[in-house]
Structure 1
Amino acid sequence: MKNQQLGKLAVPVGVIAIIVMMVVPLPTFLLDLLIAVNITGALLTLLVSMFVTRALDFSVFPALLLVFTLFRLALNISATRLVLSEGDAGKVIHAFGDFVIAGNLVIGLVVFAILVIVQMIVVTKGAERVAEVGARFTLDAMPGKQMAIDADLNAGLIDEDTARKRRAEVAAEADFHGAMDGGSKFVKGDAIASIIITLINLIGGFAIGMLQMGMSPGDAIHTYSLLSIGDGLVSQIPALLLSVATGLIVTRSATEGDMGSSVLEQLGRHKLALRIVGGAALALCIIPGLPKIPFLLVGAGFLFAAHKIKPPPPVLESAAADDPDRPSPDSPEMLLGEMRVDPLELAIAPDLVDLVDPTGGDLLDRVRALRRKMALELGIIMPPVRTRDDLDLPLSSYAIRISGVDAAAGQAPPGTVLAIGDGLTALPGRAGVEPVFGLAGKWVPSELHYQAELTGATVVDRASVIITHLAEVVRANASRLLGREDVRALVEMVKRTNPVVVDELTPAAMSLGQVQKVLQALLDEGVPIRDLVRIFEALSLRAKVSVDHDGMVEAARAALGPAIAAHHTNDGRLTVITLDPQLEQHLLESLRPGENGNFLAIDGMRAESIVTESGRLIENAEASGVTPALACSPQLRAPLVRLLKAGNRRVSVLSYAEIAESSAQIETMGVVNGAYAGVA
């Protein structure tokens, strides 16, 4: 905690002190101390940039670069003030200038100019260009990387936390390279500023020395050139170190170790190249006039390195198989992984792979959005969709599989869109069918998209067709996709906010399996299970009386009655068909218990009559633009659902208890009484 507090205070205080240094004169002793800090800090930064394993491990580098640049400029300003005002800038600057000049002003100026050229033209310019290109490539690759993460998430290869971490790393990498692109401009500007300050010190010092201090031209040139070059050197050396560090950071590639280890490892893979270089150096000794000892030493050094450096062991399949941390291909873990059946799978033909291509297709992104939509619509967590290509599928086709079994299939020819409507005969293409509603259409070329719309047709792209089909399959098979583990997760979610409700229900009153069966029954009839708190409350009360399956389902539906009725309400009206009272009484008397719940013990002709007349009334109502539900007593609701389902009739059956609290106006569209037809 103390280190964190010190870090929070040190940086702001240091930046403020740097700004103050630009205005307030510094004594020579303090200037010497700060110059030493500048040089050692730049050296530390260079070494850290060499030891980090990846650029993001030194993510503070761009900000640190700015702080060091400001610090160095503040030292230049303070030194210039001392040079021009007192003709003295401390012992460090004097020592650097005296050592480089060594009694010869021309040599000193040439050495200083060379250092400036090396830093500005070679290192800084190159680092600036690499940073600019790296930032551009990183930003261009960012959408593809994010879509690849979404693809792994949708395929179930990673979990949500891992995906969130990888997205954060992608964003951090883009931010870092963008910051480095701007940070390299600081280094370039600092080099230019150093040249200007050195020229000011030379010209201004020469003028001040002769005009104000009465020095001779020779003394003025010697004194102020020594101080100017010394000041330039103490700023250029740290600047050069930081320029090299910048170049190392922006040119780091995808290595798993620090720079030194990576260099030795990669050079060690090419021992033959080291031997050839050593032999070539020894061969140069044959050339007359060349010194023998330097080339002998260099050649011997390369041959010695080729002998001593050990190449990394090659990664072979056998070695991978012998790795104790990796199971063998025939191990139970690997076999179980290959045997695993995915709950939900989208198989596509090879020519439809462009739909899942991260650089152009958005199908995987839409699948991810569909998972959220299903969670909000049905209240279930849709399992990850494993998307893969299947060579056995016909071209331009796809298949949706649940637990490895085909649940639906469709067509999505490449380069086309589905136009639904009349008047498409003039457009080229092949006939197609909208997979959810069965509407006739035509797959037309994508470039004729607007022409198809001008005919009044509804145009749908291939990804939308597949996603709509997938959503309908998920709705129709929601109960099959709700596993025991999913139920446990839902119960834990409710327990975090309503622990009392869960504690009263499970495991005291009902097992997790019984809760799962109730939720699956609700989903089978298209009832969302989002309001789990109300469902669990109803189940816990019903469980005190009986835990029979039909009774538990009816208790849950009664608790959700207003929401179920609202789903069938249109413009404030709830349209229903009802049972004839005598028929309803007869059906109540024919109820018998069974292994799968109550059933209707009636003859086949009567059962067929109920199914036929119910379907006829529903079709007549749908012809007028409404879809009614069948209303009956709570005891008959579940048996009637089973009867109509066995007769291949998808009819929504509501109990009187479910519509009792509805505020909608009840409108009866017909009465089922034909069940008595043909009965003596």
Structure 2
Amino acid sequence: MKKYGDIVVTLAIIAIIVIIIIPVPLGALDVLLSFNISLSLLILIKAMYTEEALEFSIFPSLLLITTLFRLALNVTTTRYILSTGSAGGLIDTFGSFVMQGNAVVGFVIFLIIIIIQFMVITKGSERVSEVAARFTLDAMPGKQMAIDADLNAGLIDDQEARERRKKVQRESDFYGAMDGASKFVKGDSIAGIIITIINIIGGFAIGMLAGDLSFGEALQKYTILTVGDGLVSQIPALLISTATGIVVTRAASEGNLGNDLIKQLFNNHKIMFIISGVLVVFAIAGLPRVPFILLALLFLYLGMNLRKAVIKAETEVVPDKITETVDEKRKPENVIPLLNVDPIELEFGYGIIPLADASQGGDLFDRLVMIRRQCALELGIIVPMFRLRDNIQLEPNHYIIKIKGVEITSGEIMFDHYLAMNPGMADGELEGIDTVEPAFGLPAKWINEQEREKAEIFGYTVVDPPSIIATHLTEVVKKHAYELLGRQDVKKLIDNVKESHPALVEELIPAQMSLGEIQKVLYNLLKEGVSIRDMVTILETLADYSNMTRDADMLTEYVRQALSRAITKQFIPNQPAKVITVDQQLEQKIMESIQQTDRGTYIAMDPDLIQSILNNLSYQLQKLINLGEQPIIITAPIVRLYLKRLTEQLTSDLVVLSYNEVDPSVEIESVGMVRI
């Protein structure tokens, strides 16, 4: 059946269309009418046992198919009623059973069924579908933000986030489709009423004029056929309308309808006792005693059983849970989660919580997503999930940033204020509170909303509190990116390259280099702020030179030279580039001081000479800073690494490049030279 299911369904839908045009045999009509009732029962029972709407995602399409099927059968039965005065045994049986020999009573009962179907169930289901569709669509942005928040908090992984987003999209599509499909049910009810009127009027006319029947005979005959035809059509419509209401009204349920009904309706013994007492009062007050007394006893029995179950649960289950909790705490495995260290943590005081709470309008989680994307684009690394924690020990507006459990930096914000910074071209004074911008240490002022427009007119850079935290966190991540890159992260980066360059990866790993050796090279690059996004070039360079040397520092220099264009664009955005060069005698002195050991290379230089070099370097750097330029030193390739290590004693942010790392097309202007 499953193998040819698509063909069967396609042929069935075509057959439904054909039935509207071509008459079917009278014997086959009874089978089709019986199948229509059976299919409706199947849909209703399936809806009752569905725990969530998406389990029955085909329901909107099924509504269209079943509605079309009922209308096709209505056309066929109307054709037989008006042409032959008969529509099969099933319709005759239904009509005779309901009318019980009285045409007026039977017709009234049929009208009541139609009114229940159209006015109550169909219109109610239609309204619920409209509301469910609107609220589902309105809730989509909030659900997406909640998924992103859980993803950033590390509660779920990327795969689960994708599945949740897909589920949210499917829910939106489902309820939108249900909103439209419910109109089919409403239209079907209206069509049923119109067809009933046509059958009666047409039947009377044909029976009295063409069939030579009296008014009474025509009324009896065609009313039975009309009522039977209407019941055979409206009962399946009633079942499917009920199924529609069940599906769209069960958004908050977690089980099937039967279990939820029993659990939620009969779960409180006090309610049972109250109902029992009220029913006894009704019986004493003069209402029929026997039914009310019997029902009172039934609810009393239910209340006693529920009360026994509650007492049993309190005496047995609770001690077991306490024992299990104590035993769980005694297990040595429970200390293992305490050993985990989060790569990046942002702890904040309770005053900053609204920034991280989407329900209060906070967008900090969205900014964290953008930070991860920005770092992927600029540095080429996969930043671990940010762990956000509130810390009542901190000041309300204070926050700290930790790397691997160790505090790196901290900051403080002021709510309902903005941070105004002078980029160097602002003209005018502002009223505010003097402070220091946490990310770059620049002088700034906290200003209120009234001063914001004036600050922007004067040329100040104005940022809001969430942007301050996000910028600070971004700079910390960039500065410490090399600490966040572990072997597992390197494995992910290499696997990504392997999808498009499998031959390169297979040649390099593990034949020439291990993951740990590659990690050291990437570590060196990130430590100096060089992007590793171009992993293909990095791995190709390592494959070329790893046979010549296994020294990670030397391999890093080869990789830097291969990335010369990217390094030039990153560190020398403007031309001509004003830089500081190094005297040849100093370069020679550094080369002569290099000592080779089993653990690597280092510089063995007199401390006084080192201090003299640093003093001269500091003087030259100040000249460059006074010109408003970024401090950059350019030296010979063989000296670059060791000069960089020397300058780290002065500052870790100084850019040291070799001549081979600068694009030949870039114009360089030396504004100073470091000498001995």
TM-score, with structure 2 as normaliser: 0.91
Aligned twin of 1:154: 152
What is the rounded CA distance, in whole Å, between the counterparts of 1:408 and 1:243 in structure 2?
62
Question: How has the CA–CA distance of structure 1 residues 24 and 283 changed in structure 2, closer, same or farther, with 3 Å as cutoff?
Answer: same
Deviation at 1:323, TM superposition (A): 6.2
Question: How has the CA–CA distance of structure 1 residues 542 and 327 changed in structure 2, closer, same or farther, with 3 Å as cutoff?
Answer: farther
Deviations 1:457-509 (A, max 9, x none): 33222222222211111111111111222123223333444344444444444
Question: How has the CA–CA distance of structure 1 residues 498 and 44 changed in structure 2, closer, same or farther, with 3 Å as cutoff?
Answer: same
Aligned twin of 2:623: 620
Report whether the alignment pairs 1:67 with 2:68: no
Do 2:512 and 2:546's aligned partners in 1 also have CA atoms closer than 8 Å? yes
Aligned twin of 2:366: 365
Deviation at 1:170, TM superposition (A): 1.6
Structure-to-structure mapping, 1:371-520, within 5 angstroms: 371-421=372-422, 422=426, 425=429, 429-446=432-449, 449-520=452-523
What is the rounded CA distance, in whole Å, between the counterparts of 1:49 and 1:672 in structure 2?
82
Structure-to-structure mapping, 1:72-221, within 5 angstroms: 72-221=70-219
What is the rounded CA distance, in whole Å, between the counterparts of 1:471 and 1:114 in structure 2?
69
Aligned twin of 1:269: 267
**Where in structure 1 are there 5+ consecutive unaligned residues?**
676-680
Aligned twin of 2:239: 241
Question: How has the CA–CA distance of structure 1 residues 332 and 445 changed in structure 2, closer, same or farther, with 3 Å as cutoff?
Answer: farther
SS for the counterpart of 1:547 is coil
Question: How has the CA–CA distance of structure 1 residues 308 and 321 changed in structure 2, closer, same or farther, with 3 Å as cutoff?
Answer: closer
What is the rounded CA distance, in whole Å, between the counterparts of 1:649 and 1:6 in structure 2?
70
Aligned twin of 1:671: 673
Q: Which amino acid aligns with 1:132?
A: E
Deviation at 1:231, TM superposition (A): 1.3
Deviation at 1:289, TM superposition (A): 6.8
Deviations 1:390-427 (A, max 9, x none): 21222223222111222222233222332334467455
Aligned twin of 1:348: 348
SS for the counterpart of 2:4 is helix
Deviations 1:514-538 (A, max 9, x none): 3222211111111111222332333
What is the rounded CA distance, in whole Å, between the counterparts of 1:253 and 1:544 in structure 2?
63
Do 1:202 and 1:224's aligned partners in 2 also have CA atoms closer than 8 Å? yes
Aligned twin of 1:549: 552
Deviations 1:322-343 (A, max 9, x none): 669x992454443222342211
SS for the counterpart of 1:584 is helix
Q: Alignment partner for residue 580 of structure 2, among 577, 580, 597?
A: 577
The percentage of aligned residue pairs carrying the same residue is 45
Aligned twin of 2:596: 593
Do 2:430 and 2:455's aligned partners in 1 also have CA atoms closer than 8 Å? no
What is the rounded CA distance, in whole Å, between the counterparts of 1:317 and 1:291 in structure 2?
42
Question: How has the CA–CA distance of structure 1 residues 229 and 450 changed in structure 2, closer, same or farther, with 3 Å as cutoff?
Answer: farther
Report whether the alignment pairs 1:298 with 2:301: no
What is the rounded CA distance, in whole Å, between the counterparts of 1:303 and 1:333 in structure 2?
49
Deviation at 1:551, TM superposition (A): 1.9
What is the rounded CA distance, in whole Å, between the counterparts of 2:668 and 2:274 in structure 1?
95
Q: Which amino acid aligns with 1:227?
A: L
SS for the counterpart of 1:256 is coil
Do 2:280 and 2:292's aligned partners in 1 also have CA atoms closer than 8 Å? yes
Q: Alignment partner for residue 541 of structure 2, among 538, 543, 548?
A: 538
Q: Which amino acid aligns with 2:594?
A: L
Deviation at 1:185, TM superposition (A): 2.4
Deviation at 1:543, TM superposition (A): 3.5
Deviation at 1:628, TM superposition (A): 5.2
Question: How has the CA–CA distance of structure 1 residues 424 and 274 changed in structure 2, closer, same or farther, with 3 Å as cutoff?
Answer: farther
Deviation at 1:190, TM superposition (A): 1.7
| Number of equivalenced pairs | 668
Aligned twin of 1:525: 528
RMSD: 2.8
Q: Which amino acid aligns with 2:40?
A: A
Deviations 1:117-147 (A, max 9, x none): 2222222222222222222222222222211
Q: Which moved more, 1:629-638 or 1:231-240?
A: 629-638
Deviations 1:527-571 (A, max 9, x none): 111222332333344433332332232222233233223323335
What is the rounded CA distance, in whole Å, between the counterparts of 2:581 and 2:552 in structure 1?
25
Q: Which amino acid aligns with 2:225?
A: L
Question: How has the CA–CA distance of structure 1 residues 150 and 446 changed in structure 2, closer, same or farther, with 3 Å as cutoff?
Answer: farther
Deviation at 1:104, TM superposition (A): 0.8
TM-score, with structure 1 as normaliser: 0.91
Question: How has the CA–CA distance of structure 1 residues 331 and 498 changed in structure 2, closer, same or farther, with 3 Å as cutoff?
Answer: farther
Deviation at 1:265, TM superposition (A): 2.7
Deviation at 1:618, TM superposition (A): 3.1
Deviations 1:607-643 (A, max 9, x none): 2232233233333234334435322223321221111
Question: How has the CA–CA distance of structure 1 residues 622 and 508 changed in structure 2, closer, same or farther, with 3 Å as cutoff?
Answer: same
Q: Which amino acid aligns with 2:245?
A: G
SS for the counterpart of 1:244 is helix
Q: Which amino acid aligns with 2:561?
A: A
Q: Which moved more, 1:46-55 or 1:209-218?
A: 209-218
Aligned twin of 2:328: 328
Question: How has the CA–CA distance of structure 1 residues 442 and 17 changed in structure 2, closer, same or farther, with 3 Å as cutoff?
Answer: farther
Deviation at 1:297, TM superposition (A): 4.2
Deviation at 1:441, TM superposition (A): 3.2
Aligned twin of 1:678: none
Do 2:634 and 2:659's aligned partners in 1 also have CA atoms closer than 8 Å? yes
**Where in structure 2 are there 5+ consecutive unaligned residues?**
none
Deviation at 1:233, TM superposition (A): 0.9
Question: How has the CA–CA distance of structure 1 residues 332 and 178 changed in structure 2, closer, same or farther, with 3 Å as cutoff?
Answer: farther
